[in-house]
Structure 1
Amino acid sequence: MKTTITTAVIALMLLPSMSMAQCSGMKEITASSCKEGMTWDQAKGECIPAPTT
């Protein structure tokens, strides 16, 4: 019983660090992350200066 509880506690302690390790290298850039005056170009997959009229 003591071993089971210890194993469960260790697993719960490691869970946040494991989830952070999976997401740390991934940063998705989308239209909502473009700065003011920029617009999302779907073909290029990046923010470009917004055309002025």
Structure 2
Amino acid sequence: MMGFQLLRGLAFGLGSFLGATIVVSSLVYVLSFIDFLPVIGDWARQISTMIQTN
């Protein structure tokens, strides 16, 4: 029973991490195209280039 709960917790943690990664990277990708807000556009572009280089 405890082994099942451990595996369930690990699966939940991994799923949460992967889901958050996909959401954040998609948000940064969309924000990198915003040019009418220079601060957000530059910030998103910097994050986008950091992600692409790593």
TM-score of the pair, normalised by structure 1: 0.39
TM-score of the pair, normalised by structure 2: 0.39
- Give the number of the structure whose alpha-carbon radius of gyration is greater: 1
Higher strand share: 1
Higher helix share: 2
